Structure 1
Amino acid sequence: MSADPTARPGPAALRARRIKTMLLVAAAILAAADLAIKALAEALLSTRAVIDLGLVNIRLLYNSGVAFSLGADLAPWIIIAATGLIIVTMTWYAVSSAPAMTGLSRAGAALLLGGAAGNLIDRLDGRGVVDYLHTGWFPTFNLADALVTTGVAVYLLGTRPRTRANRPAPT
């Protein structure tokens, strides 16, 4: 038996759709901000090697690998395919489970997906990811890297273990 095609979705379905949409829109905005800042860093550093800001310097580097340049010797298409598959899987999981997540976990998922998408899109030209934040004591990184790291931490902070009060009764 099929459902009535003219029936309107209920409030719970509308809320779930709104939550999923907001997660994807937030991630897209963060990815766009990351890409815009990378373009700005490339433009600013086209005429100079370093912009000294004190604790952090702006220095242009291209990372053809993944975190900490791991896999830099691999063909770019391998890195793109592998990270693309991981991001598609993470996006599917985050979107499908978003209505059941806490607000904090959804915020973490948006940060994580936005940063991951920004780095993947940046990688598509074959040069690697634009890194520009240099501390001297830590590998050079970018906004997307900070979004991914912060997103994971915020997501984990938003997951709450089941307590005895909200655990289902044994059967």
Structure 2
Amino acid sequence: MSDRPRRSRTRTARLAIAATAVALAAGDLACKAVAEQKLTGGRSVHLGLLDLRLGYNSGAAFSLGAGLPSWVVIAVTGLITAGVAVFAWRAATDAPWPLLVGLSAVLAGAVGNLVDRAGDGLVIDYLHTGWWPTFNLADVFITLGAATVALAVLRSPPARDSGA
């Protein structure tokens, strides 16, 4: 039996992961650039439940590590991002598509925030609820992607024991 269909599926899955992550990260970075340009001087746009309000975060999620040197935050988030990328690359061989979509979203968000932080050690945030820390589209990708990964794992059938 040929291994060709499996290799083709793996190649297709890896390409889809990379293309999705790049497209989503680019969209995130574009939104950050627009927010930084349009929301200067304390300008805020009220959209109902959500406001557009410019903020900068020197830390990771919920400003964790905000007091650390930026190179430490960049190094740690870079390592985590690389870990997610390696995991997604390896999972592409046989993981279900919902899991790969979730990993793509997590990777996109991580890359978007890492690229944004690389310039000056800060991440641009612009989505504000008033009751939750200000966040950005990359954070949404990470959160929804992680939820998708969790649901995909919970819904997957248990692994069979190949037992000895």
Counterpart selection for 2:4 from 10, 22, 25: 10
Residues 108 and 60 of structure 1, relative CA distance in 2, 3 Å threshold:
same
Q: Which residue of 2 aligns with 1:27?
A: 21
Is 1:132–2:109 an aligned residue pair? Answer: no
Computing the radius of gyration over CA atoms, which structure comes out larger, 1 or 2? 1
Amino acid at match of 2:18: L
Matches for 1:17-166 after TM superposition, within 5 Å: 17-46=11-40, 48-159=42-153, 160-163=155-158
Residues 56 and 14 of structure 1, relative CA distance in 2, 3 Å threshold:
same
Aligned residues: 161
> How far has the Cα of 1:167 moved from its partner?
2.5
> How far has the Cα of 1:139 moved from its partner?
0.5
> How far has the Cα of 1:21 moved from its partner?
1.2
**RMSD across aligned C-alpha pairs, in angstroms?**
1.6
TM-score w.r.t. length of structure 1: 0.88
Q: Is the helix fraction higher in 1 or 2?
A: 2
TM-score w.r.t. length of structure 2: 0.91
User: Structure 1 unaligned runs (5+)?
Assistant: 1-8
Q: Counterparts of 2:156 and 2:18 in 1: how far apart (Å)?
A: 26
User: Structure 2 unaligned runs (5+)?
Assistant: none
